[in-house]
Amino acid sequence: MNTLMYDTYTIFWRELKRYKKSRSGVLIRLIQPAIWIIVIGNTFSGTQPLIQSVGFQGEYIEFMAPGVIILTAIFTSIFGGVNTLWDRRYGFMNKALTSPISRSAIALGKMSAISLIAALQASLILGIALAIGVTFPNPIMIAPIMAIVILFSLGFSGISVMVAATAKSQETFWGVINFLGMPLFMLSPALFPLELLPDWLAAIAKLNPVTYTVLLVREMMTGISEGGIPIFLSLGIIFAFVLVMVGLASYVFTREVNKPF
């Protein structure tokens, strides 16, 4: 167990080192969510009455800012596994595979690094949101919000690592990831309340772990509860999602990297 943690930390350390050295990447990855929050946030500001009609007292941009924070977390983490493909192509993977560390430690180290990076990116978007006037009734909530974002991103990094370990090419990886990422984001109350969705879409959205994360983070940020879903149910669903994804990802990763690339 101790060895597993030590090995996981080794991989985690390496991934973070690489992230730190790629500063330009940090900024480039912020452009898209910044556009979302600035452009969509203002374009749709006219929908405020609609949102108020289902009980959200506040500006549209305050409604969607938590959604964009989750968007950042989703995309940073679901793209994060791509370097698994580079590692396999350029030999780092073989180096790790011929050392005494376990295969699951490689997967776990990658996932934990990706989720921390995703949370860092998300916190930068939170900063942008605050800068353009989104208010925050209870600043102490930042810590638990970040904890939720890290946890949630861990689940999505699991999806990413799993797809990257299974895909043998960049093309397959990006194809699958784009197929998964956008619908998971859109089928959630990130941009519009569940109550305004047609019944069948709302039903699908309720199967989506993103929904519960958005609702939870929005409640923590604005103090307004919506959708009638208790906090503990949301938390429970997020935990279950993360546990399943991390377990599944370690299993799939171990199985796939043992096959020749």
Partner 1 sequence: MLYSIETKSLTKSFGDVTAVNDISFSVENGEIFGFLGPNGAGKSTTIMILTTLLKPTSGKALISGFDVLTNAKQVRQNIGYVQQETTVDEYLTGRENLLLQAKLNHIPKNEINKRIDEILDLIELTEKQNESVVTYSGGMRKRLDIAGGLLHRPKVLFLDEPTVGLDIQTRRKIWEYIKKIHDEFEMTIFLTTHYMEEADQLCDRIGIIDDGKIQIIDTPENMKNAMGNEVISIILEGENRDSFLSQIQKIEFVNKINEDGSKLTLFASNGTEVIPKIFQISSELDIKITSISLTQPTLDDVFISYTGHEIRDDDSRFNRKREHAKMTRLRA
Is 25 a binding residue for partner 1 by CB under 8 A? The answer is no
Which of the stretches 17-25, 127-135, 141-149, 155-163 binds partner 1 when contact is defined by CB under 8 A? 17-25
Which of the stretches 74-82, 86-94, 157-165, 228-236 binds partner 1 when contact is defined by CB under 8 A? 86-94
| C-beta atoms surrounding 49 within 10 Å | 8
Find the shortest distance in angstroms from Cβ 100 to partner 1: 5
Sites for partner 1 among residues 139-198 (CB under 8 A) = 168-169
What span, in angstroms and rounded, lies between the C-alpha atoms of 40 and 129?
A: 13
Coil, strand or helix: which one is 27? helix
Phi-psi region of 197 (alpha: psi -120 to 50; beta: other; left: phi over 0): beta
Is 97 a binding residue for partner 1 by CB under 8 A? The answer is yes
Is 94 a binding residue for partner 1 by CB under 8 A? The answer is yes
| C-beta atoms surrounding 10 within 10 Å | 16
Find the shortest distance in angstroms from Cβ 106 to partner 1: 10
Tokens of 125: 């978007």
Find the shortest distance in angstroms from Cβ 26 to partner 1: 14
Under 8 Å CB-to-CB from 257, ≥6 apart: which residues? 88, 93, 97, 103, 106, 165
String marking each residue 199-218 x if it binds partner 1 according to CB under 8 A: --------------------
Phi-psi region of 193 (alpha: psi -120 to 50; beta: other; left: phi over 0): beta
With CB under 8 A as the rule, give the number of residues binding partner 1: 25
Is 21 a binding residue for partner 1 by CB under 8 A? The answer is yes
CB-wise, 168 or 206, nearer to partner 1? 168
Is 86 a binding residue for partner 1 by CB under 8 A? The answer is no
Contact pick of 1, 98, 131, 143 for partner 1 (by CB under 8 A): 98
CB-wise, 18 or 255, nearer to partner 1? 18
Find the shortest distance in angstroms from Cβ 73 to partner 1: 24
Q: Tell me, what amino acid is at 73?
A: A
Q: Which residue pairs from 50-57 have beta carbons closer than 8 angstroms and sit at least 24 positions apart in sequence?
A: 50/196, 51/192, 51/193, 54/193, 54/195, 54/196, 54/226, 55/224, 55/226, 56/193, 56/222, 56/224, 56/226, 57/224
Which residues would be at the binding site for partner 1 (CB under 8 A)? Answer: 3, 6-7, 10, 13-14, 17-18, 21-22, 90-92, 94-101, 168-169, 260-261
